[in-house]
Every structure is written in structure tokens, then in C-alpha cells.
Amino acid sequence: MAAILSFRTRRVFFLSLTLFLILGFFYTLLNRLPTYDLDDSRTHNILSNDNKVNYIPIESAKKYIDVEVKENIKFDINPGEKFLAYFTHSGYHNQRIALENALLLAKLLNRTLLLQPVLLGPPVPWARFDKLYERLFLISKNGLEHCSDIPKEYPLPLECINYYTYTTVSWGFLINMKPIREWNKIIERWDHSFEWLEHNLNINKDKDIHFIKDTTLWDYRIYDKNESKVLKFDKYKRKLILDDLKRIEKKVLHLGSLFGSYRVLPENDNSKEYLKFIRKNIIPYNNILKETSDNIVEKLGGEKNFIGLHIRVSDGFFMKSARKNIDFIYHQIVNNFTNFTPEEVDELEGGTHDQDVLEDESVVLGNDDNSRNITSSITPKSIKSIKLTTTTTTINNNKNKNNNNNNNNNNNNKRVYIPDIPEFSNKINGFSSKVNCKKQLHSTDQGANTVIYIATDAKDPRNNPLLFKFFNTFPCVFILDDFEQDLIDLKSVRNIHDKTPLASYLIPMLDSIISAKGFSFIGTPKSTFSNYIDKTLHPIYTGKDLIINITP
């Protein structure tokens, strides 16, 4: 009997101990789950032109500015009205390219564009038409409304873990859509389902929709000419002729993807003018982006008084070629804006030029183990600034004919570059004095005092060895981190509907606006984002004409 009691006692003890350990494990796990500061906020309508901020002060460790991100424009359907629909996917930049194509095609077909919202967060990858239709349902937050109501001191339940990693906003929240809407009718649709089309357009899916379904990423391209000059160089599988699409009588023409530069190919003159109009208007714009960028540009000396750079280093191909690309950009500035000797340049960049012109073989493309916080494996030989002994250069519009170009291995003398801007030559001796440069100005080489703004995805740019040569050579180099006070409101913005912070999506747009407003812009080779700033934003902000350069 005693043995039986002893066995039962041990059994109860071990079961109790096991239960205690299990409860302890889950208690520890739950307390380690991420929590989010969701304090009450100010309300700010970025969509309006009213710059007043209405808020109720609330004692809180952090204040958010809740902004309206939906335009909610009512619409009426006209008899005989026809529509164009497509699926959005991928990151913001690719969605913008698809929007550009969709607007052009809608205008050329005289159809109302059914426009989906912008998807912000992890990119939704392209898929075949039917698969992408299903995939887009996964980004909905329907049924998760309770996630934003959970206090910060409580752990998030499992269904809410990824709640704040993505959100959706109207295009009108990021760009000024008013001129576009006046130019061609647009209906915003926050539901991409076929049921929405049937309910809101009073159509029948099986009878009134003409589908053009893509089965590969580069499936079809739309041509506004029957005989295209670029057809023989084309990577697209199918050729869709604009005149054939015009003959489609069904109320809705529904395509899959429209991503791809010049996917709707503008070879006719009117098509090119339409595309120019679109590009001039679908640029980043809302009140907080405008106010913040204006403040920072003013601190850089004003528009057209600095060089804007975009340096991409933190993923894939750009990680591998980071040193090479940075060296290329650096020497463009040194060769064109300073009078340094080759010996001075070598000391300023830390004696690493021979290594910097090589690709980083330690980076394996497609390897997820590559650190995203890339730093250079090349250590500068000297990290001190040198005292220059170059002779003072007279500021005029004549360039020294003895040119040196390190990229071409020439051994001629350096030259000073004076920007081809009427008012700049009068400011070059004094404009830097109103800029709070981080280092002492060069007294003997005014070109070296040129203000430079770097937009980059590099980690901790000022202390990143990749960018050492810029900060060691030029006293007036700035990055976005230098303007923390100007970023307070922008970093506080969140979606009023799902309480998702929006700063991480707005900051790249802010960077692009600022870097595009200099008198010169230099970007990262092969970067589509750099190309967008160089070919679209910079010409617009500096008053130059947009060039429609159709390439195969």
C-alpha cells in the first residue's frame, strides 16, 4: 500500500513540475513577443491643402499624427462608359511604373481607369493572372481590426504579429492626383474582386469582361503603331496592337500586370505627350513631404545650390558592386568640382582607390546570408583630413583645359567645374557660409566646398567605411540623419485606419525629392530608382524638359 502511495506521490509531483515548466515557458515566450506603442494621436489631413493641425494634447511617451490616406471620391457610371482594370504587385517603384502604363493606356483607349490602392510593405511578387488574383486577397486586414486596439503593455496575438508590416493607401495620398483625374476619369477600387466589379459597375463577369491574362512576367506589350521600330529587339512574348484593343466592345478590359518601363510603348507623338504629362504629375507630393523637403533643401543652401547623390549599396547586385559604384560617383565629383592633385585625392580617399575599383568577391548574389548592413572590407590607410596646398582657383565660367579623369586613367591636371547656372557663380564664394557644414571649409579650393546631399540605404552613413572618402574630402556633405528635428512630424505619421506607421515608406520619397533638387544629380549605375530621379524628378524640379527615350 505504501509503495502505491509513494508511486502516486511521485507521479503527481512530476506532473505538477512538468505543468509548471510548460506554463513558465509560455509566459516567457509571450512576454518576448513584440509590442507596439499605439498611443492616442494628433490628427492631420495630409490630403488637403489646409496646413492646420487639429489635435488634442495627450500625455504620452510618443505622439502619432494620424493621417487620412483614402480619397473616398464618389463616382457615377455613365451609359456606354468603358473601363480598364489591371492588377498591382511588387514594390512601390514598380507599382508607380505600372500606374504610368495604366494611365497612358486608359487615355489612349478612352476608358475609365479602375485604380487599386498602393501596397506598402513586403512586395507582393508577380504571379500568373489567376494566381495573382488569389494572392492579392492575402493583403487584406479585414477581420483584424482588433489588432490596432491592443494596448502596448499587452503582447500581440498570433494573427496580429505581422499587422504593422504592411498597409494600403490611395495614390492621392502620395501624389497630387487632381490634374490626372481632370485629364482622364479614374475610379478608385479598394477591392480587386470580380464581385466588386459586378456590384459597382452593374456588369456580369462572364458577359461584360474581356480578360487578357498574362502567363509570364514579360507576356505582352501594347504598341500604338502597327509597325513598331523596336519589335525586333523586344523581350515580350505577345504583341498587342492599340487599334485591336480599341475594337473590344465589352465594358471592362481586364489585364494582369502592367509593370515594365514602356510596356505601353509610346511611338506616336500624341502618346509621347501624354506620357510626359503623366510623368510630370505622378511625382511624390503631400503636405508633409513638401514641408519637410522644403525645410531641408533650404538648409542645404536652397534649390540648385548643391549636388544630389543616390548611393544604393545594401542588396544583391548593388552590394557586390558597392565599392566600385561609390568610387565612380566620388571621382565624378572630384574631377569636375575640385582642383585637387592626384596625390591629394589618393590621400583623401584613404589610399584605397585600386581596391575600390574592384567588385566585392565576398558577396555571392542570391545568398541570403549577405549582411544587409554592408560595410567595406577595405580599411582606409589614413582617416585624417589633410591640409590642402592647392592654389586658389578664380571663379569664372572657364574650365581648366588640363583635365584628369581617374576612371579613364588619364594623368592630366585636375579642374574646377562651375555649374552652368546663371546665379550660381555669384553664390559660390558665399553660399556655403549659410550652410552649417560639418567640417571646416577649404580655404584654397572653393569647388571642394560644394554642398553635397547623399541619399543612401547604407547603414550609419557617416561612420560607414564605404562612404569614408566623401566625408573626408568634402566639408559640406549631408545625409538625412543630419536633419532629425525636421523629421519629427514625418516620423510620427501613421495610417488613421489601421494605425500603421508610414515613416519607413515616406523617407525614401523624401530622399528622392531632396536629392533631385540640386543643380546636379548623380545616381548609382543600373539603379532604376536613380534613373527615376535622374530622368524624371531632377528635370521636373530644375525646370528642364522631360525626354522620352524609348529603348528596346
Q: Is residue 309 part of a domain?
A: yes
Could you tell me which of 340, 215, 289 has the C-alpha nearest to residue 514? 289
pLDDT exceeds 80 at position 27: no
pLDDT exceeds 90 at position 251: yes
Backbone angles phi, psi at 354, to 5 degrees: -60, -35
* Distances in whole angstroms, Cα of residue 183 to Cα of each of 1, 178, 270, 331, 406: 94, 9, 14, 44, 49
Contact present, 359 and 324 (Cβ < 8 Å)? yes
pLDDT exceeds 60 at position 370: no
Q: What is the CATH number of the domain that holds 187?
A: 3.40.50
Contact present, 38 and 62 (Cβ < 8 Å)? no
pLDDT value at residue 158:
93
Residue 58, number of CB atoms within 10 A of its CB: 10
- Please give the Cα distance from 271 to 499 (Å, whole number): 40
* Distances in whole angstroms, Cα of residue 276 to Cα of each of 114, 164, 261, 314, 547: 21, 36, 14, 32, 8
118-127, 184-193, 333-342: least confident range: 333-342
Which one has a higher pLDDT value, 355 or 162?
162
Q: Is residue 445 part of a domain?
A: yes
Per-residue model confidence as pLDDT tens digits over 325-366:
999 999 999 988 888 888 888 888 776 655 655 555 554 434
Residues 536 and 432 in one domain: yes
Q: Is residue 398 part of a domain?
A: no
Q: Is residue 16 part of a domain?
A: no
Residues 258 and 299 in one domain: no
Residues 255 and 179 in one domain: yes
Contact present, 512 and 310 (Cβ < 8 Å)? yes
SS3 76: coil
- Taking residues 446-450, what's their average pLDDT? 85
The three grid cell numbers given for residue 502, joined into one nine-digit string: 508610414
Task: Rounding to the nearest 10 degrees, give the CA dihedral for residues 355, 356, 361, 364.
Answer: 170
pLDDT exceeds 80 at position 13: no
- Please give the Cα distance from 474 to 329 (Å, whole number): 13
- Please give the Cα distance from 166 to 484 (Å, whole number): 24
Q: Is residue 400 part of a domain?
A: no
Contact present, 350 and 489 (Cβ < 8 Å)? no
pLDDT value at residue 444:
78
- Taking residues 359-377, what's their average pLDDT? 45
Residues 493 and 452 in one domain: yes
What is the CA 332 to chain-centroid distance, rounded? Answer: 24
Contact present, 252 and 209 (Cβ < 8 Å)? yes
- Taking residues 204-220, what's their average pLDDT? 96
pLDDT value at residue 160:
94
Q: Is residue 527 part of a domain?
A: yes
Parallel, antiparallel, or unpaired: how do β-strands 118-120 and 167-169 relate? antiparallel
- Please give the Cα distance from 265 to 551 (Å, whole number): 10
pLDDT value at residue 272:
96
- Taking residues 487-511, what's their average pLDDT? 96
Could you tell me which of 251, 222, 412, 414 has the C-alpha nearest to residue 336? 414
Residues 272 and 314 in one domain: no
* Distances in whole angstroms, Cα of residue 26 to Cα of each of 21, 35, 151: 9, 16, 20
157-161, 269-273, 373-377: least confident range: 373-377
Q: Is residue 3 part of a domain?
A: no
* DSSP-derived secondary structure letter, 164: G
Which one has a higher pLDDT value, 26 or 371?
26
Listed in sequence order, the DSSP H helices in 146-300 are 171-174, 178-183, 194-201, 205-208, 242-246, 269-281, 287-299
What integer best gives the mean pLDDT of the chain? 80
pLDDT value at residue 23:
60
pLDDT exceeds 70 at position 424: no
- Taking residues 395-401, what's their average pLDDT? 32
Query: How long a stretch of residues is the chain?
Result: 552
Of 242, 257, 281, the domain-final residue = 281
pLDDT exceeds 60 at position 269: yes
Residues 298 and 263 in one domain: no
Contact present, 323 and 469 (Cβ < 8 Å)? no
pLDDT value at residue 318:
87
Residues 81 and 202 in one domain: yes
pLDDT value at residue 349:
76
Contact present, 534 and 542 (Cβ < 8 Å)? no
pLDDT value at residue 229:
77
Listed in sequence order, the DSSP H helices in 397-527 are 424-427, 468-473, 488-492, 503-516
| Tally of domains within the chain | 2
Residues 293 and 325 in one domain: yes
The domain in which residue 183 lies consists of: 66-150+159-281
Confidence band, pLDDT 50/70/90 cuts, at residue 403: very low
- Please give the Cα distance from 42 to 38 (Å, whole number): 12
pLDDT exceeds 70 at position 115: yes
Burial category of 408 from C-beta neighbours within 10 Å (exposed 0-12, middle 13-18, buried 19 and up): exposed
Residues 270 and 144 in one domain: yes
pLDDT value at residue 12:
62
Residues 135 and 84 in one domain: yes
- Please give the Cα distance from 284 to 173 (Å, whole number): 9
pLDDT value at residue 63:
85
Of 243, 263, 281, the domain-final residue = 281
Of 281, 313, 341, the domain-final residue = 281
Could you tell me which of 119, 117, 121, 118 has the C-alpha nearest to residue 165? 121
- Taking residues 126-134, what's their average pLDDT? 97
pLDDT value at residue 337:
85
pLDDT value at residue 293:
97
What is the CA 481 to chain-centroid distance, rounded? Answer: 17
pTM of the model: 0.78
β-partners of residue 85 are 114, 254
pLDDT value at residue 41:
40
Burial category of 462 from C-beta neighbours within 10 Å (exposed 0-12, middle 13-18, buried 19 and up): middle
- Taking residues 161-190, what's their average pLDDT? 96
Residues 116 and 234 in one domain: yes
41-45, 290-294, 336-340: least confident range: 41-45
Residues 216 and 312 in one domain: no
Per-residue model confidence as pLDDT tens digits over 216-246:
999 999 999 988 877 666 789 999 999 999 9
Q: Is residue 421 part of a domain?
A: no
pLDDT value at residue 7:
56
Strand (E) or helix (H) holding 93:
helix 92-109
- Taking residues 524-543, what's their average pLDDT? 94
Q: What is the CATH number of the domain that holds 506?
A: 3.40.50.11350
Percent of the chain scoring above 70 in pLDDT: 73
